[in-house]
Amino acid sequence: MKQIILLFILTLFSYSSFSQTIKLATIVPKGTSWAKTLQKMANEIKEKTDDKVKFKIYYGGVQGDEPDVLRKTRIGQLHGGIFTGKTLGDVFSDVRAIELPFNYYQDEAKALAAIAKNEKYFSENIKKNGFVNLGFYGIGKVYVVSTKKVENINQMKGIKMWAWEGDRIIEAMMNSLGLVSIPLALPDVLTSLSTNMIESAYAPPLGILALQWQSKVKYLINFPTAYTIGSLLITNEKWDKIKPAHQKIVEEISLKYIDEANKLAVVDNQNAMEELKKLGIEFVEFSKEDLANAEQIRKDVISKLEGKVLSKYIIQSIEESR
C-alpha cells in the first residue's frame, strides 16, 4: 500500500507544479501574420493553463538559420521551433514528399488534402524521432526568382541557384533541371544575389518579400515549382514535463491558430504576388510545352529519391493524392 501511495505522489510531482516555459525559435519575422498567430497562440495557452505553460518565442532568425535551431533544440538549448523544407526532412524525410517538384504546383487544395491524409503517419514518425508535432503549416507555392531572364525550362540550365546544404530533394530537382547548386545558409542568400555568387533562389511570394530578395532580383518565373510546408515541433523531453490536461489544451489551441495561419497564408501570398509586380519584378510565363516537361522532371526526381530519401509507401500515397 505504501508503495502505491509513493508511486501516486511521484506521478503527481513528475509533472512539475512549476510552470513550463517552452523556448521556441523561428525565422518568421515579427509583424507578419504568421508571427501574430504564434503570439496569439502563446497568449491563449498561457491564459488557459493558468500560466503553467508559457512560450518564449525567438522571431526573425535571431537563434540562427533553421539547421541552427534544430541543432540547438537537439542539445537542449531550445525546446522546439517551426521547421520547414530541408530541416523538417531532417527530422523525418518522408514529410518532404509533399514538396516534390511539380507535384501540387497548380492546386493548393490538393496539397493540403495530401497533408491531412498523411498527417497521422507523419506525426507518429516525427514522435519516434524525438518531437511532438503540434500541426502542419501550408506555407504556399514556391516560385523561382532570378537576376537573369529565363523564358523556358531549357534556359534554366547552368543557372546558379541557392540551396540549403544537404537538401536532397532540391539537389535531385536541380540535377534534373541542369541547375548549378550553391549551398548557403538562408541569411546569406540576399548578399549572394547582390555579389552574383548565386543568380536565383526560391521561396513562396511572402517569403521573397520578407527576406527582401525583391531588392536584388529582376524576374519571377510565374510557374510554381512546388508547394512547401512546415511544422511546429516540441521535443518529447519537454512535452513530457507538461501535465496531460495542459497538453490537450496546447494541442487544441495550437491547431486553432495553425489553421488560422494557413488561411492567412493564402491571402498573404496572393497580396505578395501583387506587391512584387508593383515593385517592378517582371513575371515570366512558361509555355504549355514546359508544363509537359515539368511532369517528366517530377518523375525523374522521384526515381532518384525512391527508396533512398522517400519510402515507396509515401510516394504511392502522394501519387494517389494527385
Provide the domain count of the chain.
1
141 phi, psi to nearest 5 deg: -70, 140
The confidence score (pLDDT) of residue 265 equals 95
The closest of 139, 143, 149 to 276, measured between CA atoms, is: 143
Helix, strand or coil, per DSSP, at residue 141 = strand
| Residue 19, domain extent | 2-321
CA 271 to chain centre: 20
Q: What is the largest CA-CA distance in the chain?
A: 78
pLDDT digits (tens, 9 = 90+) for 100-154: 999 887 788 899 999 999 999 999 999 999 999 999 999 999 999 999 999 988 8
Which CATH number belongs to the domain containing residue 272 in this structure? 3.40.190.170
Decide if pLDDT at 6 tops 80.
no
The confidence score (pLDDT) of residue 3 equals 54
Decide if pLDDT at 231 tops 50.
yes
Task: Give 271's pLDDT tier (boundaries 50, 70, 90).
Answer: very high
Average pLDDT, the chain: 92
pLDDT digits (tens, 9 = 90+) for 211-228: 999 999 999 999 899 999
Task: Give 18's pLDDT tier (boundaries 50, 70, 90).
Answer: confident
d(CA 310, CA 82): 22
Q: What percent of the chain has pLDDT over 70?
A: 95
Residue 117 near residue 321 (C-beta atoms within 8 A): yes
d(CA 153, CA 79): 42
Decide if pLDDT at 241 tops 70.
yes
The confidence score (pLDDT) of residue 270 equals 96
Decide if pLDDT at 191 tops 90.
yes
The confidence score (pLDDT) of residue 108 equals 87
Q: What percent of the chain has pLDDT over 90?
A: 82
The confidence score (pLDDT) of residue 154 equals 86
pLDDT digits (tens, 9 = 90+) for 281-304: 999 998 888 878 888 999 999 999
The confidence score (pLDDT) of residue 212 equals 96
Amino acid code (one letter) for 244: P
pLDDT digits (tens, 9 = 90+) for 173-188: 999 989 999 999 899 9
